Amino acid sequence: MRGHAILRVVSKLLIPYVLLFALYVQFHGDYGPGGGFQAGVIFAAAFILYGLIYGLSALRRAAPQRAVELISAVGVLIFAGTGIAAMLSGGEFLNYGAFSQDYTAQGQHLGIIIIELGVGVTVAAVMVLIYSTFAGRGRS
């Protein structure tokens, strides 16, 4: 895409806003439509756009494959760790009410935010991994 200056400039201007919108969807998903999965896909779409415009090698420099694999595992650990933390707090697995003894709605809110963060991180990392894996395949 070296010859497509307009696409390169527009994508460079657009990608930060796409990432910002992904953060908005992530952290306001408990109030309205959205949440971890949608935010993860939007976040990954920004990286995939970067890879499409600037090439796979530029994407792998910006998001190294090993780091993305590690981030996907961390997202799963955030999800599972939240459930285990709820169990250690005296509740059932993923029963967020156990996070707050006085006001269970506050515990529910905290648990949902943490779970959605884990989902968002995992989805974003896995989508980038899927793209980079398929884009890196040679024609046979």
Q: How many domains does the chain have?
A: 1
Instruction: Please tell me whether residue 89 adopts helix, strand or coil conformation.
Output: coil
pLDDT class for 104, splitting at 50, 70, 90?
Answer: confident
Residue 54: inside a domain, yes or no? yes
Contact 127, 48 (CB under 8 A): yes
Average pLDDT of the segment spanning 82-102: 83
Please give the model's pTM, rounded to 2 decimal places: 0.87
Residue 68: inside a domain, yes or no? yes
Contact 12, 99 (CB under 8 A): no
Q: What is the pLDDT of residue 103?
A: 67
Q: Tokens standing for 34?
A: 């959205």
Residue 140: inside a domain, yes or no? no
At residue 33, does pLDDT exceed 90?
Answer: no
Of 27, 79, 22, 77, the residue nearest 48 (C-alpha): 22
At residue 30, does pLDDT exceed 80?
Answer: no
Q: Which domain holds residue 108?
A: 5-135
